[in-house]
Structure 1
C-alpha cells in the first residue's frame, strides 16, 4: 500500500459575510450560515474569512485549493465584507455563492461583485435562480437547501399538535395566504408569530432544536415555496423532523422527490380541508406518509447529500479543452461532458408567477398596450414589492407615456439599491443606461453627458446605445462611440431584440412623447444617416446651472483631480444619491459614525416652532 498518498481534504477559503450574532436577529438565520460551513466541511478543510481582508494576504497565509465568495445576501443585520487585491493568485479557482432568494434585488450587486472579483462560475442556494439570472445560467449551478440531521430528526415527541403554522404569509406566499386561514379555522393549531427578519421580536421565534421538537410533536405542517415555486428549507425541515409535509405541487418540489400521498400531501385551497379530514380520520395512512417523507429527507437532503461544490472542484481540475461541466438537475450531480454534445444543465423553468406576469407585460408592451402592461408589472410588486424587473419595466412604460420624471424616479431607486443599500462597485448596466436616457428625456442632456463615464468599466450593449444617443445629440453624426472594455457586464434584465436603427426609431418616439421634439428629430435623422453637426449644435439643451448641481459636480471633480479615490463616493454626484452624506461618511473616522448618524437624524427631522 502506498503510504505517500495524500488523504487530506482540499482547503477551501470561504469569504463569508459577517453573520455575527445579533440580539434582534432571527436565530435561524445564523444557524443557516453555520450549517452551510458545516456542509462544506464534509468535503473541504474550510477556513472562514468574515472580516475585511486582503485576498493576496489570505491566499499566502492559507494556500487554498479553492476560494468561495458569498455575495448577493439581503442583509438582515449581516455585514458585507470588503475584499481587496482580488486580481492576484489567479491560479486558485474561484466560485461565487448567491446566498439569497432567486428574486432578490441584490442580484445586480452580486453580478457586480463577480465581475470585480474575476469570478465566472457561480452556485446558488435557490433552485429557481437560473430563471431569474438567465444571462449567467450557463455557468450557474445549484447548491440547494438541506437539513442538519443532528438538529432535524425524530425526537420521539408525542404527537399532540394537529397542525403547526409557521413562516410568513404575506403577498410573497399566496398559497399560505389561502391555505393557512382555512386550516386555522378548522383544526387546533400551534401558530408561530410572523415576525419579519428585521423585527426586534424576531429573536423570540423558535429555532434550532426547539423548532425541530415542535415540528416533531405535530401531525401535519403546511408550507409553500413562495410565488416563485421554490424549495425552501421548511420543505426539508418539516419531514426531516418527522411531521407530515402539506404543500403546493410545483416542479421544484417534485424534482426534490416529493410525491403526493406517498411522502407528502399536495393541496390547494379547493381541497385542503377534504384532504386533512381524510388523513386525520385515517391515522395509519398519515403515519405511512410521514415515515416516507422522513426517509426521503434523511436519504437525499441532509448536508452530507450536497457535494455539488466539491464535485465542481474535482471535475474542474481535470477539465480538458472542449469539455464543460453541467448539472443533471437542481438536486443532481455535476458531470463533465463534451461541448460538442450540446448537453446543458437541467434547470426548472416556467413556474414562477412573477415571471409569467413579466412575460405577459412584455407582450402587451410590444403591442403598444401600455396601460395593460403596467397592470401586469404592478401585480408583480404585489408578490415582491422591490422586484427590480417590474420596477424597470414600469420605468419603460412611464417613458412610453411621456412621463420622464416618473421613469427617472424609478431608475434612481433601482440604482440606489445596488449602489447605496448593497454597496456594489457599479450598478446594473441596463439600469444605468436607462437612467442616463431618462435624464435626456427630462431635458437634462448636460447632466447625462457628464455622468456617462462615471462608471468607466461598465460595458453593455444598452450602455453603448445610451452613449451613442449622447454623442449624436452633443456633437455630430461622425462621433464614434466605443466601449472601453470589450467584455459586457451581465444584467438581470432582458430586453427586446432590436437592431440599432430600430432602437433609435423607438427611442426617438420616446423623446417625442417626453416633449423633446428637437432631440427626437435629430435621432430620426441619425437612424436614417442624415444628421449633421450643424443641426445638433442648434438644439436648445436645458442647462444644469443650479448652484447645488455645480457644487456636487465641483466636489466630485476635485476628488478626481486630487486622486482621492478612497474618499470619493461611488454614487453619482447628485442630491438624489446623497452624495454629500457618503462623502462625509468616508471622511469621518469609524469611531465617530454614531455622531454622524445623529447629525443625519437631526437634519432629516422636520423643523417646527416652539418644539
Structure 2
C-alpha cells in the first residue's frame, strides 16, 4: 500500500488585525489562510513573538508572511527573525497594487529573510518594477466553491451591479455602464457594504446570500478598474451561475475568459447589443453561462490552489545551480538550471497597464530631459484615479525639483508619508526612493534637520538611490570612485522600492542629478560629469 505523503507544516505570520475591519473585508483578507489549511497544517501568529522559540514549538516546514494593509495595518516585532535560515520564507502580496502601505511590506523582506514573493496577479509587478529583483511569482485569484455555486434559483433579476456607485473615477467603465444599462434592461444596483464595521451600509449581503443573489441574476457587471486587473467578482459571478459582463481586458483573457464563449465583453452600444442578443436566445444564454461556471470551477477553486505548497516541494529539492521557476503565469513550479537571464516565470510577458504605461512614460521623459508639460498633466490626472496612489506624487516631486520649485517638491515628496502617518507614525514609514529625493531637497534647502531625519530613516531602508544621493553630497566625493562608494548597482540587503525612479544606470542618474542641481542654482556643486569608455565618471565640488 502506497504511503501517504506527510502534511507539511506552515506558519502564517500576519500583521495585527484592525479592530474596525468590517466582516466582509476580514473574510477577504483571511481566505488565503483557510485555503492553505486545506493542503497543509497551518499555524497562525498575529502578535509579537520570538521566532527561535516558536520554531522549537512548531517546527514549521516553511513560513508565509502576510501583507500590511488597512485590514491588518501593523507589522509584528519579531525577535530572532533570521534564526533557522534553512526554513524557506515567502511573502503573499495580498493587497491592492496601489496600496499606500506597500513600503512597509517591502521593508519586511530583508528584515525577515524573505526571498520569494507571491503576487495575486500581474498588477503588483506591473506597478512595482523592482519586484523583478526578487523571485516573484503570479498566482490566480480563487473562489470557495461551497459558497460560490449555482444555487439553481429562479432567475428574477435581469442585471445586477454590485458596488455600482463606488469610486467612479477608479471604476469608470462600471460607472458608465451603471448609468446606461438601467435605461435598457431592468437593473438592480447594490451599494457596497463598506470596509469599516462602524460605518456600514444597511442591507448588507455577503457569502452565500451574495452568491444566491448573483444566482438569481441573468447577467452581472464587474469592472477591471482603471488599472485593468482581475478582481474576485470576475470569478464569483460565473461561479454563481450568472453571465459575467466586463470590459475587454487582457488580464481576463489570461484567466481563460472569451467573449460570447463564457462571458460578455465590451463597452458602449455594442455591449448592449450583445446582452440583448444573448438574452433572446435561451440556448446561447445557457451555453455561455455553463461555460463560465465550468471555467471557474475547473481552474480557480480553493481545492486547486496548491501553489505555495507546490513551490515548497520544489524548493526543498533544489540542487546547486538551480532555481525554482514558475511555468507561466498561474502555472506549476519546476527546478531549472539558473543560466544568466533565466526568468522567474517562464514565457511570461508583463505588459503595461493603463497606469503603468503613464508612469513608465513619465519616468522616461524625466530621464531624457524632454518637455515636462504634458507629463505633469498626465501624472496629475493619475492622482484623480484614486486618492492614495503614491507613484505619481514622487515623479511630480522630482519634476518640481527640475523646475526649481522646492516648496512644491516638498509637498509632493512627503505627501504619501504625511498622509499615512497622520494616525500612526509607523504607517508613514518612507520608501527608500522617497528618502533619497528628500535628502536632495534637504541639501538644496540647507535644512540640517530634514537631512538628519532622512539619514536616520535611511538606516532602516538601504537602497542604491540613497547611497548615490549621499555620495553626491559628500565633501570628499571627488576622491571617491563608484566602486568604493557602492553606487554602481544594487546590493544584497537593499530594500525594494515601490517607485519608478531608482533603477537607472549611474550615468543616467548623474545626468538627472546635474539637471536638478543646475535648476536650483547649484551648478557650482558640479565639478564635472562624463561617460568615458562606457563607465560613468563624476566628481562633485565641495563649495
SS of residue matched to 2:66: strand
Matches within 5 A, 1:310-349: 310-340=309-339, 343-344=342-343, 345=345, 346-349=347-350
Structure 2 unaligned residues grouped into runs of 5+: 531-536
Highest Rg: 1 or 2?
A: 1
CA contact (8 A) 1:102 1:126 kept: no
CA contact (8 A) 1:414 1:431 kept: no
Identify which range, 430-439 or 223-232, moves more after superposition.
Answer: 223-232
CA, structure 1 residues 203+54, in 2 after alignment: closer, same or farther (shift >3 Å)?
farther
CA contact (8 A) 1:98 1:122 kept: yes
TM-score normalised by length of structure 1: 0.79
Say yes or no: does 1:60 pair with 2:56: yes
SS of residue matched to 2:384: helix
Say yes or no: does 1:162 pair with 2:158: yes
Report deviation, 1:445: 5.1
Residue of structure 1 in register with 2:534 after alignment? none
Residue of structure 2 in register with 1:152 after alignment? 148
Matches within 5 A, 1:35-434: 35-72=31-68, 74-76=69-71, 79-137=74-132, 139-167=135-163, 168-198=166-196, 200-202=199-201, 204-340=203-339, 343-344=342-343, 345=345, 346-365=347-366, 366-416=368-418, 423=426, 427-434=430-437
Report deviation, 1:223: 0.4
User: Cα deviations across residues 281-323 of structure 1 (Å, max 9, x unaligned)?
Assistant: 2222112111111111111111112111011000001111122
CA contact (8 A) 1:246 1:264 kept: yes
CA, structure 1 residues 158+80, in 2 after alignment: closer, same or farther (shift >3 Å)?
farther
CA contact (8 A) 2:9 2:62 kept: yes
CA, structure 1 residues 476+157, in 2 after alignment: closer, same or farther (shift >3 Å)?
closer
Report deviation, 1:500: 4.5
Report deviation, 1:383: 1.8
Residue of structure 2 in register with 1:510 after alignment? 516
Say yes or no: does 1:477 pair with 2:478: yes
CA, structure 1 residues 531+265, in 2 after alignment: closer, same or farther (shift >3 Å)?
closer
CA contact (8 A) 2:128 2:498 kept: yes
Residue of structure 2 in register with 1:589 after alignment? none
SS of residue matched to 1:477: helix
CA contact (8 A) 2:73 2:427 kept: no
SS of residue matched to 1:441: helix
CA contact (8 A) 1:354 1:383 kept: no
Report deviation, 1:64: 0.4
Say yes or no: does 1:463 pair with 2:491: no
CA contact (8 A) 1:112 1:425 kept: no
Residue of structure 2 in register with 1:581 after alignment? none
User: Cα deviations across residues 9-36 of structure 1 (Å, max 9, x unaligned)?
Assistant: 010111123447x5x6443222223421
Report deviation, 1:477: 3.4
Which of the numbers 474, 488, 492 marks the counterpart of 2:498? 492
Residue of structure 2 in register with 1:550 after alignment? none
Report deviation, 1:163: 0.5
C-alpha distance in structure 1 between counterparts of 2:129 and 2:17, whole Å: 29
Report deviation, 1:6: 6.1
C-alpha distance in structure 2 between counterparts of 1:187 and 1:125, whole Å: 34
User: Cα deviations across residues 451-472 of structure 1 (Å, max 9, x unaligned)?
Assistant: 4244325332221221122213
Which of the numbers 429, 443, 446 marks the counterpart of 2:446? 443
- RMSD, matched Cα: 2.8
User: Cα deviations across residues 173-221 of structure 1 (Å, max 9, x unaligned)?
Assistant: 1221222211122221221113542470257531111101101111000
CA, structure 1 residues 78+439, in 2 after alignment: closer, same or farther (shift >3 Å)?
closer
CA contact (8 A) 1:27 1:207 kept: no
Report deviation, 1:110: 1.3
Residue of structure 2 in register with 1:607 after alignment? none
CA, structure 1 residues 239+55, in 2 after alignment: closer, same or farther (shift >3 Å)?
same
Aligned residues: 524
CA, structure 1 residues 416+120, in 2 after alignment: closer, same or farther (shift >3 Å)?
farther
CA contact (8 A) 2:526 2:539 kept: no
User: Cα deviations across residues 131-163 of structure 1 (Å, max 9, x unaligned)?
Assistant: 222222351112321110110112121100011
CA contact (8 A) 2:359 2:500 kept: no
CA contact (8 A) 2:171 2:226 kept: yes
Relative contact order, CA 8 A, sep 6+: which one is greater? Answer: 2
CA contact (8 A) 2:418 2:428 kept: no
Residue of structure 1 in register with 2:11 after alignment? 13
SS of residue matched to 2:107: helix
CA contact (8 A) 1:147 1:301 kept: yes
C-alpha distance in structure 2 between counterparts of 1:496 and 1:75, whole Å: 27
CA, structure 1 residues 529+147, in 2 after alignment: closer, same or farther (shift >3 Å)?
closer
CA, structure 1 residues 502+164, in 2 after alignment: closer, same or farther (shift >3 Å)?
closer
Structure 1 unaligned residues grouped into runs of 5+: 537-611
CA contact (8 A) 1:15 1:49 kept: yes
CA, structure 1 residues 191+470, in 2 after alignment: closer, same or farther (shift >3 Å)?
same
Residue of structure 2 in register with 1:520 after alignment? 523
Identify which range, 409-418 or 481-490, moves more after superposition.
Answer: 481-490
